[in-house]
A = this chain, B = another copy of it.
Amino acid sequence: MLKGSTMKTDIDVVVCEVGLRDGLQSIAQFFPTAEKIAWIQAEAAAGVPAIEVTSFVPATLIPQFADAQEVVMAARAVAGLRVDALVPNLKGAERAMALGVNSLDFVMSVSRTHNLKNVRREREESIEEFKRIVSMVRQLPPQQRPRLTPGLGTALGCSYEGAIAVDEVVKCAVALAEAGADEIMICDTVGYADPVLVKKVFTAVRSAVGSLPLGAHFHDTRGLGLANVTAALDCGVRRFDASLAGLGGCQFAPGATGNIVMDDLCFLLDAMGLRTGVDLDKLVSVRPMIARNLPDVPLYGGLARSGLPRNYVPAAQRAALTNLIF
């Protein structure tokens, strides 16, 4: 497994499905392992290039992820798929690495209160833990190392603390960058962001961490998710997390609801002429896999409700036409 070897080069924006982790973590009902694997395979077949397939938290804490090993093994067998996993600590990172996970999504919150509730650590302790993970990863030869892609939760607001100072986000991002992150996800865990704040935060972090890639993880809690995506695009962000049908939430963040809807995100990007590698019709056809396993969970999304515009031409085909013309 080469670091980054699963990245596709004919896409403009990398979308990462996080429904299997962020979506399922707040749902008590166990999603059968075979069904998780079928979901991963189907979404990868629709062209989604990266999937956060599980979380390496203790199964005693979140039984939903007791099958992490089996899920990762199956996901790794999917050709071309970048397999991400959430790792809350060194122990989790160790388990994920042993299984050949491509991206280690370490998580900490900019909000001190949320970090204490979510991972029971001071933020400084989280940074120290991340450094230990970096050290462990660096014991491998460079070409065998997983990508280190930590996420900064509550970076755009916190349901415990309210507004979060931009300086605090920058401070945490710089600490993660200096510690050895390959990419940093800026996360609006509870859906407090607006396009102006997004531009403020991403611009500030960008100027502090140089060319380090930044990604965005938005929730659609108050309906502003895709507006925030366009603001992040304006800041040069080219990686976005989302969950199919908007599944998601956070059990330690009161009022939080789902991630932005993957299908609508892919339609937004594609309509804007940005290639994602995703076949929109195939993607929408994966939704019943969620519905049949979670009949009582609300699913969201406009594309699935209304279908593609008449005579819609996907971005990849438009690009080809452009190439022909110019």
User: Is A100 part of the contact surface with B, judged by Cβ < 8 Å?
Assistant: no
Say whether, besides A227-B226, A230-B195, A255 and B162 are in contact (CB < 8 Å). no
Q: Is A292 an interface residue (CB 8 A)?
A: no
A194 CB, min distance to chain B CBs, angstroms: 3
* Contact A255 to B222, CB < 8 A, known contacts A231-B230, A268-B227: no
- Closest B residue to A157 by CB, please name it: B309
Residue among A194, A196, A264, A311 with most chain B CB within 10 A: A194
Q: Give the chain B neighbours of A124 by CB distance below 8 A.
A: none
Segment with Cβ contacts to B, from A25-33, A129-137, A144-152, A300-308? A300-308
Are A194 and B307 in contact, with the CB atoms below 8 A? Answer: no
**Residue A223 is within 8 A (CB to CB) of chain B in the complex:** yes
- Residues in B whose Cβ lies below 8 Å from that of A223: 226, 261, 264, 267-268, 301-303
B-facing residues in A252-311 (Cβ within 8 Å): 255-257, 261, 264, 267-268, 271-273, 301-303, 305-307, 309-311
Partner of A220, one of B229, B268, B302: B302
Interface residues on A, range: 35 or more
CB pair B272–A194 under 8 Å, yes or no, is yes
- Which residue of B is nearest A267, CB measured? B222
Contact B311 A222 (CB under 8 A): no
Chain B residues with CB under 8 Å of A11's CB are: none
Contacts of A158 in B (CB 8 A): 310
Verify B309–A196 contact, CB threshold 8 A.
no
Q: Once the chains bind, are B273 and A196 in contact (CB under 8 Å)?
A: yes
- Is residue A168 contacting chain B, with contact meaning CB distance below 8 A? no
Asked whether A163 lies within 8 Å of B311 as measured between CB atoms, the reply is: yes
**Min CB gap A246→B, angstroms:** 9
A230 cross-chain contacts in B, Cβ below 8 A: 195, 227, 230-231
A35 adjacent to chain B (CB < 8 Å)? no
Check A23 for interface membership: any CB of B closer than 8 A.
no
Known interface pairs A157-B309, A157-B310, A158-B310; 16 further A-B residue pairs with C-beta atoms within 8 A, sorted by A's residue number: A162-B309, A162-B310, A190-B309, A194-B271, A195-B230, A195-B268, A221-B302, A221-B306, A222-B267, A222-B302, A223-B226, A223-B268, A223-B302, A224-B264, A227-B230, A257-B306
List the interface of chain A (C-beta within 8 A of B): 157-163, 190-192, 194-197, 220-224, 226-227, 229-231, 255-257, 261, 264, 267-268, 271-273, 301-303, 305-307, 309-312
8 contacts between A and B (CB under 8 A): A157-B310, A159-B310, A160-B310, A222-B309, A223-B303, A224-B264, A224-B267, A224-B268
